[in-house]
């Protein structure tokens, strides 16, 4: 099967007469196989890893009918406000909010949400937690995606991206002394 | 004592069969690969833990670069022809036959509809250098939602399923631009859509494993 043709050039029966040397027709395929498999590997890697993933986003429908708006319990709700410079603010409940600062790191807002969730589970035996996501004009799209992602990491059942209210703006102004509405130029 | 002779065997293996298989695989992968279409925008998407993959067909893709300009793209040449005919009637902007053909071949664009004929008349190589200002999507002039509606109608007529809306935003785009885009979609009750992201490791799974 793989032996070289040993009879090539081994003639001696016919004396005299110019004879062209018999050459083997077999070619060493090893480098060709190497190359082919390299290309196969390349195509396999590029095809499977290039597909982007998607996050499913459901925005609350804008309805004028007040009856359709669901009521949420104050003790089960939490508000997170994304601000510029990768910082964020959060407060619990709705009336008498205490604004606190956090960030997007593993020990930042994730721990806060998980803690809140455990509190609710201990109190009511259900994991109903509502998180309202708001963003100042200084926040970036990345922040929004990160926050949505954080919601799925901590498996918060109900969350929504909503507009900032006047109370939120006042709270941040009181805390930082600057209006959150001052947008930085995009792309910086 | 007679010596036991082990017959010498060649170590060479016939590679022909292996070569056949590998080239067959190579051809298969080359033919099935879809090359990334030319996009007029550079978008660096943020990452998320979501593992849902984007489908190949039936996606209205709205890309947003870091300046917040919005670009529209939709797959399928027939769908795109139907879209532009619809839009031409809506905004009363006439397109020539040649322009419609060129539009069907163009994957993605980002200009107000009034500038679209001029963009289509450019040569493909000039089109790459042309800076596209994005599709207007503010409340006063909401062309984007028109494009989305037109593609919904065109795609539903062709495949009898509604296409999904996917937003591919640059991580550095600022929130007001994103908000403007979402508001534009919500003004016509498009409340469900996808955010296109890169894959990132899930911290919950890391703990378990």
pLDDT tens digit sequence for B68-91: 888 988 888 888 888 888 888 888
In this complex, do A54 and B52 lie within 8 Å of one another by their Cβ atoms? yes
A53 close to B50: Cβ distance less than 8 angstroms: yes
Task: Quote the Cα angle for B107-B112-B113, to 5°.
Answer: 80
Q: Model pTM? A: 0.73
- Identify which of B29, B32, B49 has the shortest CB distance to residue A40: B29
From CA A160, how far away is CA B77, in angstroms rounded? Answer: 36
Count CA atoms within 13 Å of residue A61 on its CB side: 10
Comparing C-alpha atoms, which of B67, B10, B194, B204 is closest to residue A184? B67
Residue range B108-115: average pLDDT? 86
- Tracing tokens 């102004």 back to the chain, one arrives at A173
Q: Do A51 and B53 touch (CB under 8 A)?
A: yes
Angstroms from A40 CA to nearest CA on chain B = 5
Helices assigned H by DSSP within chain A: 30-49, 109-124, 141-153, 166-176
Which residues of chain A make contact with B53, given a CB cutoff of 8 A? 51-54
Q: Token digits for B147?
A: 């494009």
- pLDDT more than 70, % of chain B: 94
CA distance B48 to A54: 8
CA atoms of A90 and A150, how far apart (whole Å)? 14
A30: which 2 tokens? 């090893």
Residue B209: is its pLDDT beyond 50? no
> Per-10-residue mean pLDDT for chain A, 188 residues long?
47 60 80 87 73 79 62 78 84 78 82 85 78 86 87 84 82 75 42
pLDDT at position B40: 65
- CA dist., res. B132 & res. B70, Å (int): 9
Give the strand pairing for A158-161 and B70-74. Answer: unpaired
pLDDT (0 to 100) of residue B36: 65
Residues of A in contact with B163 (CB under 8 A): none
Nearest to B191 among A54, A59, A137 (CB): A59
Suggest the residue from B49, B174, B179 to mutate for an interface test with chain A (most A CBs closer than 10 A).
B174
Whole-complex ipTM: 0.73
Contact list, B68 vs chain A (CB under 8 Å): 186
Q: What is the mean pLDDT of residues B22-26?
A: 87
- Residue B117: phi and psi, rounded to 5, are -55, -40
* Interchain CB distance below 8 Å, B15 and A32: yes
Of A53, A106, A141, the CB nearest to B169: A141
B26, B54, B186 member nearest A54 (Cβ):
B54
Cβ A149–B202 below 8 Å, yes or no? Answer: no
DSSP B109-168: E-S-GGGHHHHHHS-HHHHHHSPP----BSSSSBHHHHHHHHHHHHHHHHHSSPPEEEEE
What distance in Å separates the CA atoms of residue B114 and residue B91, rounded to the nearest whole number?
9
User: Which two structure tokens, joined as six digits, stand for A66?
Assistant: 């007040």
How many CB pairs below 8 Å do chains A and B form together? 173
Q: Which of A105-114, B184-193, B199-208 has the lowest mean pLDDT?
A: B199-208
């Amino acid at each position: 099967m793989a032996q070289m043709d040993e009879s090539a050039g081994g003639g001696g029966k016919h004396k005299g007469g110019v004879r062209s040397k018999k050459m083997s027709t077999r070619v060493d395929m090893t480098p060709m196989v190497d190359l082919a498999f390299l290309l196969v590997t390349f195509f396999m890697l590029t095809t499977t890893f290039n597909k982007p993933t998607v996050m499913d986003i459901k925005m609350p429908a804008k309805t004028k009918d007040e009856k359709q708006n669901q009521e949420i319990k104050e003790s089960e709700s939490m508000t997170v406000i994304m601000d510029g410079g990768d910082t964020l603010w959060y407060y619990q409940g709705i009336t008498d909010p205490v604004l606190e600062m956090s960030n997007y790191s593993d020990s930042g807002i994730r721990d806060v949400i998980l803690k809140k969730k455990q509190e609710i589970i201990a109190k009511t035996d259900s994991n109903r937690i509502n998180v309202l996501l708001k963003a100042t004009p200084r926040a970036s799209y990345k922040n929004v995606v990160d926050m949505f992602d954080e919601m799925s990491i901590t498996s918060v059942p109900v969350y929504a991206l909503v507009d900032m209210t006047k109370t939120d703006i006042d709270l941040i102004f009181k805390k930082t002394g600057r209006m959150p509405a001052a947008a930085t130029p995009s792309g910086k | 004592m007679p010596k036991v002779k082990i017959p010498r065997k060649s170590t060479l293996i016939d590679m022909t069969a292996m070569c056949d298989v590998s080239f067959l695989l190579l051809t298969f992968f080359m033919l099935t690969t879809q090359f990334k279409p030319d996009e007029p925008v550079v978008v660096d998407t943020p990452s998320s833990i979501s593992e849902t993959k984007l489908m190949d067909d039936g996606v209205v893709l709205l890309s947003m670069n870091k300046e917040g300009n919005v670009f529209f793209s939709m797959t399928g040449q027939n769908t795109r022809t139907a879209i532009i005919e619809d839009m031409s009637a809506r905004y009363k902007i006439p397109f020539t036959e040649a322009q419609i053909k060129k539009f069907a071949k163009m994957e993605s664009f980002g200009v107000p509809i009034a500038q679209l004929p001029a963009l289509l008349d450019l040569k493909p190589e000039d089109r790459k250098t042309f800076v596209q200002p994005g599709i207007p999507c503010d409340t006063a002039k909401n062309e984007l939602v028109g494009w989305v509606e037109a593609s919904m109608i065109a795609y539903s007529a062709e495949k009898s399923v509604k296409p999904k809306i996917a937003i591919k935003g640059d991580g550095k785009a600022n929130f007001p631009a994103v908000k403007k885009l979402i508001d534009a979609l919500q003004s016509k009750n498009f409340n469900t859509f996808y955010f296109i992201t890169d894959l990132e490791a899930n911290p919950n799974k890391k703990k378990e494993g």
